[in-house]
Amino acid sequence: IHIAASDVSSKSTRTKIIMVSFDACKAKMEAEGISKSAISAFESTFKSLVSGNTGCIPESTISPVSELISATSISSNPDTSLLKETVLLKLNGGLGTGMGLDKAKSLLTVKGDDTFLDLTAKQVMKMRETYGFNVKFMLMNSFSTSNDTMEHLASNFSELSKEEGLEMLQNKVPKLNVDTLEPATCAKDPENEWCPPGHGDLYAALIGSGRLDALLKGGYKYMFVSNSDNLGATLDLKILTHFAATDAPFMMECCERTENDKKGGHLAVRNADKQLILRESAMCADEDESAFQDVTKHKFFNTNNLWIRLDKLKEIVDKFGGFIPLPMIKNSKTVDPKDDSSQKVVQLETAMGAAIECFEGATAIVVPRTRFAPVKKCNDLLLLRSDAYVITDEYTTLLNPDCGGTAPVIDLDSKKYKLVGALELATKDGIPSLVQCKRLKIKGLVRMSKKTKFIGSVSVTNSSDESKMIPLGDVADATLDLTSNSGLGPLKADFIKSGPISGQKPGTSGLRKKTKEFMTEHYTNNFVQATFDALKTNGTDISVGTLVVGGDGRYFNDETIQTIIKMGVANGVKRFWIGQNGLLSTPAVSAVIRERGPEWQKAFGAFILTASHNPGGPEEDFGIKYNCENGGPAPENLTDAIYSNTTTITGYNICKSFPNIDITSAGSVTVKSDDDTADVTVEVISATENHVTLLKTIFDFGAIRSLLDREDFSMVYDCMHGVNGPYAKAVLVDELGQDESVCINADPKDDFNGCHADPNLTYAKELVALMGLNSKGEKIDVSGKSVPSFGAAADGDGDRNMILGSQFFVTPSDSLAIIAACADVIPFFRAQGGLKGVARSMPTSGAVDLVAKDLNFDLFETPTGWKFFGNLMDSKAIFNGKDYTPFICGEESFGTGSNHIREKDGIWAVLAWLSILASVNCDSSKPLVTVEDIVQKHWAKYGRNYYCRWDFEGVNKEKAQKMMQKMRDDTETNAGRTVGKYTIATADDFTYYDPVDGSVSSKQGIRFLMEDGSRVIFRLSGTAGSGATVRMYIEQYQPDKEKLEMQVSNALEDLVTVALELCSIKTYCGTETPTVIT
């Protein structure tokens, strides 16, 4: 039976009833794996609703609570031995959405750098240290707060985070369609179909998770529960001792109500049985509202600080068959909380304090207001962050004694400062002093500073639509009107309304799309704003340090730089480093972040404007990626946050009046606000200086110059009209004294001169021909022409490389192996005791594996993406793990590098090869040892990994995905299958378990591992601007020295045939002809 839909929101009227069943709710919850106790508890509240019960408690059925014992009157001595039987549990399920937060509210910074969670954890650790008991600590997280919370604890309180039984998850319950009371549906986002059941779920969660039985078995008898945002709610030993002495099963901490508390719930006595009960505002009928708000009648409110006897809780649970029947609280909402036009729903909740009526003999105690200090509004947050509160040695909050016993009254404009973001924008120059303030009222948009001290009663008004700065220094007993004051002028932020744009999900290399898509209205702005928002949420203070901006010079580069500067200023960035002419190669950006100083200006991150090796121009590709303070690409948690922000964005901040910056000349420009209270510095820096300076510390430039100066040695470096031209000239010409002719195509073009700046045998046509090869890497007739001894090529953003000898192609996999084997000829490695670790991406051949085994290096096989290498490089510095550096890593896609930066580095690889060549050509009187000689010698020692990659570019993405899924589905049946002369030993979808941070990366490529060690691998590339690229990798190891000179195509012919049969690419994508063979 249920209340007619037209009356479901009524608090006080009984209505007609119709039949309805709980079966649909039960089935939905069981399918979700929700515990029996939680289902039973929800069924109890559901039946209460459908029976016609409104959840109201009429005034006529209750009486006021006249008196309660006061905590200040407790005279018993604290019994520390009780701590070993006590559990401290914090309710941590709230997101703080009312304050504009989208993560656990407990992760909000409240004092210095400490969050609510930090201070609570420190309280627990201090209590353990002080009393010598391992006081049990627990968190009840929700499905919305669990990940953020546990990651924060693991990063900041590692030992605490590993404790058994630390986390207990709050359940979730279905929202109910207001018309049918069936579970509501939301096709747009199924997560919207669920809601938290209120903190009354504490009991069901304790039961369903098995925690209650485990605690009782462990000898725990008492539990203290409070909200995570209430720093006043500490485990008070005196109150615990009193609770134990009373032998009460349940005790509620209450405070005396004031006019400010009249809308909150209160304690009462039920007339029928004289039982203490809790009446919340949602339980009050409209006609009883005046009595409910009468603070002289109903004098006590629930602080949500509760003391519970766990053995008595178990008795009640058993009595009612596995749950506690709590009073129902009914809320009328919409299924999509962000869409008022979506389906109307009923959300059923319970309050944990309402359990007081379930415990016979339950009591309550009056506590000081200091034990009830939740942060519900920005008023509370500003006060707590100010000097009006101090942190004690026990990590508790205490009203500053200089306040004279009374906290200042803060009244911020509720319309302007409802959300935390608005308060943080107003206080980005620091929190003003409030210790001598009695009352502060602010109306309108203002900016405050740590250099301002409020004294006495102060009222500030600003009626303009621009925030104005409150004067610095003492502001005593004043009424200020800032409306006509000067404002920020060119630094004034404008908010431009927009909305989500689909498809802005960044991959491992950032966001890449067609240039024209980036040029559409709001597209670039939305993504940049989503990135700034994600940085702030992840704890990056963008107002400190420097933001680096630069790119590979492709079309739309310069306009985007100006946009990022203006949006950066609007979001709080105060200093920028911009590459001269808008240019910064990807490795150079990493070098600038890591190397450029002084320390107080160190970069916190960078926007890199590149689509790497993809074509450029108005009809081609553009890209934006973000690199973090370690110089490496944004980790997955940050890119996920960026994408999430793009799906909910409502607009972006930009300083429309900020002037365009001349980025053609190095120099610094400072732009000041009209009121002279703020300034922003934009410095245009040399694109090459920091990177080249770093490279000079790594390599022996003298030895390399001696090689280059040999009469029998020549080289050519094809920059492919990408960003690397200036770097090649700076190194080879300016530092190593070579003629400019060694650098070809060295002038950056915004369309790469109409070419595809991808350093491989197919696209580096000019270089390949000069080196006497064809697009398959085979020797061609050069008709007696002189062929350079050494050739190299770079891609659009300078992070990739191709290495060639005279009529000889070095595969990227062999290049990686040879550099690793010869690393000691490079000072960077030799001076640090030699190479320690090497890593390759999974599709890269196993050539480097053989070197690692021979030389006893740590070896890692990772997914494609430089961020995985970065984790290994930072294992010790960031994660306190093993030190794998010095470190070399590489990918078959022409990317090689080391731990000198956190990106692959094309010119580093060129200098590494020149160093190797220099080391074997010290005597200029002897014949030149060539690139081919070095590779042949390596094969003779380690054997040869015959290897090739076929790229099928621009195929239909949906069809390619179906092809990949078919192979994924068939992995079990393919294992053991014989195809041609090969037998498949293992077929799988590669999963990587990161040894540094414990993360798991699945679906990283379909692998067919043959019994003879051969491999066939398939991946869908994530770096194309449009369509999809299927990459097919073929590898066969050959140890026989008599078979090291075969043509790659001949050596792999049979395996290629097998690969094409395994993937059926002709069936799915309509072709077996690759675009590129490497």
Classify strands 452-461 and 1000-1001 as parallel, antiparallel or unpaired.
unpaired
CA triple 362-363-369, angle to 5 deg: 140
Strand arrangement, sheet containing 667-672: 511-514, 621-627, 603-609, 546-551, 575-583, 679-685, 667-672
Alpha carbons 1068 and 958: distance in angstroms, whole number: 10
Compute CA distances 247 → 214, 222, 309, 355, whole Å: 22, 11, 9, 17
Compute CA distances 900 → 11, 593, 695, 759, 883, whole Å: 67, 12, 9, 22, 14
Q: Which residues partner with 681 through β-bridges?
A: 575, 670
**Coil, strand or helix: which one is 364?**
strand
Residues 521, 563 contacting (CB under 8 angstroms): no
Residues 446, 469 contacting (CB under 8 angstroms): yes
| Per-residue tokens: 859 | 């070896």
DSSP designation for 507? B
Cis, bond preceding 886 (omega within 30 deg of 0): yes
Alpha carbons 719 and 2: distance in angstroms, whole number: 74
Alpha carbons 76 and 240: distance in angstroms, whole number: 11
Kindly report the number of other CB atoms within 10 A of residue 175's CB atom.
25
Alpha carbons 938 and 608: distance in angstroms, whole number: 37
Q: Which residues are catalytic?
A: 612
Residues 599, 592 contacting (CB under 8 angstroms): no
Compute CA distances 841 → 733, 860, 875, 955, 1038, whole Å: 33, 8, 18, 24, 21
User: Nearest-CA neighbor of 487 among 446, 451, 456?
Assistant: 446
Compute CA distances 50 → 21, 248, 345, 358, 910, whole Å: 9, 34, 14, 22, 75
Residues 219, 87 contacting (CB under 8 angstroms): no
Q: Which residues partner with 15 through β-bridges?
A: none
| Per-residue tokens: 872 | 């290994």
User: Nearest-CA neighbor of 990 among 968, 1013, 1022?
Assistant: 968
Q: At what angle do helices 931-942 and 906-919 cross, to 10 degrees?
A: 80
| Per-residue tokens: 158 | 């590692």
Alpha carbons 143 and 192: distance in angstroms, whole number: 12
Q: With DSSP H G I counted as helix, E B as strand and the rest as coil, what are the percentages for the chain, rounded to 5? A: 35, 25, 40
What amino acid is encoded at 525 in this protein?
Answer: N
Alpha carbons 175 and 192: distance in angstroms, whole number: 8
Alpha carbons 145 and 611: distance in angstroms, whole number: 35
Compute CA distances 102 → 148, 511, 536, 648, 1064, whole Å: 10, 23, 12, 11, 45
* DSSP letter for each residue of 429-473: B-PPEEEEEEEEEEES-EE-BTTEEEEEEEEEE--SSS-EEPPSE
Kindly report the number of other CB atoms within 10 A of residue 706's CB atom.
15
Q: Which residues partner with 606 through β-bridges?
A: 548, 627
Cis, bond preceding 598 (omega within 30 deg of 0): yes
